[in-house]
Amino acid sequence: MTEIMDRDLASTPTVEQERRLVTAVPGPASQRLHARKLAAVSAGVGTMLPIYVERAAGGILVDVDGNHLIDFGSGIAVTNVGNAAPEVARRVTQQVGEFTHTCFMVTPYEAYVQVCEALNRLTPGRHEKRSALFNTGAEAVENAVKIARRFTGRDAVVVFDHGYHGRTNLTMAMTAKNMPYKDGFGPFASEIYRVPMSYPFREPAPISGEQAAARAITAIDKQVGINRTAAVVIEPIQGEGGFVVPAPGFLTAIAAWCAENGILFVADEVQTGFARTGAMFACEHEGIVPDMIITAKGIAGGLPLAAVTGRADIMDSVHGGGLGGTYGGNPVACAGALAAIDLIEGLDLVSAARRIESVMLARLQELAAAHPGIGDVRGRGAMLAIEIVKPGTRETTKEPDPAEAARISAACHQAGVVTLTCGTYGNVLRFLPPLVIPEHLLAEGLDILAGALAG
């Protein structure tokens, strides 16, 4: 840490931090590449906005036509420290020159151990921990389930309505939404059970977090069986499902009940982790110490890396050789993680996320007051969203309006702001700017959103 603090941590990004459109979006060069994409890449791999990126840094993506777009997506909550952050680029480049791979299970190296030490230190709780590294969020989720089953000797895994945990066979079973994630891809893994989430905006009548937890717990007790349940796996703020923030007390009640019943409380912080929500991990907002925590995305500044971190007794219950994979904890990805973690701490990106929240949330609430189509404004830190409903239904049916959400998002794209949608009903616009986004780009992006909402 001191070594990099001596250098300029926040060194100037290589890309001018200014929105600038020089062609239509997408421009002709992107369109040519997209024609090749359609001919060469499986149609199953979609692209939301076919601008082909050439460079990116800070809060800007530059496409092959020279357009500079404001980034409100961070590649789905990955580039928390900024794209091609100079410190990440430097350490990754150095590692590539030293060695690119040995396989940690064959001949190990220090960076893997350092990443695990950092995770054990940074994740909630001061108890003794261990970590294991993987390549993707879904792979880490799968491994958390393996570990939970091994430790408890139980099979059942409980997940929640609107939850998202990945696209592999086990994690498809854990993911709630059928299209596009599951349709036609079954049969799915067994012993996965879904129970009701606390989704304050969509409760038929207001209920407290404790009441929503009691509802979920009753479902587990009656439909799954407490003694059969290995783990409850939950996103403290749901990501793909619509940035659903459960009512206060919901997570704490579930975690306490898990602890009383020998069920592991597993937090999927793949999207919420690494300062994104204005805390290093979202569990901290409610003082929750999960038995295991799953991380990925923001962990390594854009390099593919994921982890499971948990109580030492749980993590060490697995027989030697029971966890692994050729690339898990690849040294280049680990170098990216060590740089990203230094940046998150050194630049205090937890505070940066809170500053983004104070600017953005106020503006989104202002917009909601003026637009009857905004049913709800929610989220924490730099993980904020608006839920779009048919005008006039906000106080009554709250009927989702995915077409309007898509229209607003497309209008933002046309004006040079990369926004994403999400949600079970596809009607949520979500905002995930890099935590290093300059203030003027944040403000400009919000102005453009306001214009897009106005239609």
Q: Which parts of this chain interact with ligand PLZ (CB under 6 A)?
A: 76, 136-138, 141, 164-167, 235, 239-240, 268, 270-271, 296
SS3 category, 338 = helix
Extract the runs of DSSP E, i.e. beta strands, from 150-227: 156-160, 192-195
Token pair recorded at residue 241: 């499902």
Residue 156 Cβ vs ligand PLZ, minimum distance, rounded to whole Å: 20
Residue 245 Cβ vs ligand PLZ, minimum distance, rounded to whole Å: 14
Cβ proximity to ligand PLZ: between 166 and 381 the closer is 166
Which residues lie below 8 Å from residue 395, measured CB to CB, with a gap of 6+?
Answer: none
User: Which segments of 153-249 does DSSP mark as H helices, in order?
Assistant: 169-174, 209-219
Cβ proximity to ligand PLZ: between 184 and 206 the closer is 184
DSSP 83: B
Residue 172 Cβ vs ligand PLZ, minimum distance, rounded to whole Å: 11
Residue 322 contacts residue 146 (beta carbons within 8 Å):
yes
Cβ proximity to ligand PLZ: between 170 and 374 the closer is 170
- Quick check: bond before 187 cis, omega within 30? yes
Residue 4 Cβ vs ligand PLZ, minimum distance, rounded to whole Å: 27
- Angle, to 10 degrees, between the axis of helix 86-98 and the axis of helix 331-346? 150
Residue nearest to ligand PLZ (CB): 137
Residue 189 Cβ vs ligand PLZ, minimum distance, rounded to whole Å: 15
Rounded (5°) CA angle 212-292-92: 125
d(C-alpha 442, C-alpha 362), whole Å: 13
Cβ proximity to ligand PLZ: between 152 and 171 the closer is 171
Cβ proximity to ligand PLZ: between 9 and 48 the closer is 48
Residue 107 Cβ vs ligand PLZ, minimum distance, rounded to whole Å: 26
User: Among 248, 250, 223, 221, which Cα is nearest to 234's?
Assistant: 250
Cβ proximity to ligand PLZ: between 305 and 446 the closer is 305
Residue 268 Cβ vs ligand PLZ, minimum distance, rounded to whole Å: 5
Cβ proximity to ligand PLZ: between 95 and 271 the closer is 271
d(C-alpha 370, C-alpha 34), whole Å: 38
The Cβ of residue 36 has, within 10 Å, a number of other Cβ atoms equal to 10
Q: List, as one string, the DSSP characters of 283-326.
A: GGGGT---SEEEE-GGGGTTS--EEEEEEHHHHTTSPTTSS--S
Residue 276 Cβ vs ligand PLZ, minimum distance, rounded to whole Å: 11
Cβ proximity to ligand PLZ: between 156 and 422 the closer is 422
d(C-alpha 143, C-alpha 266), whole Å: 11
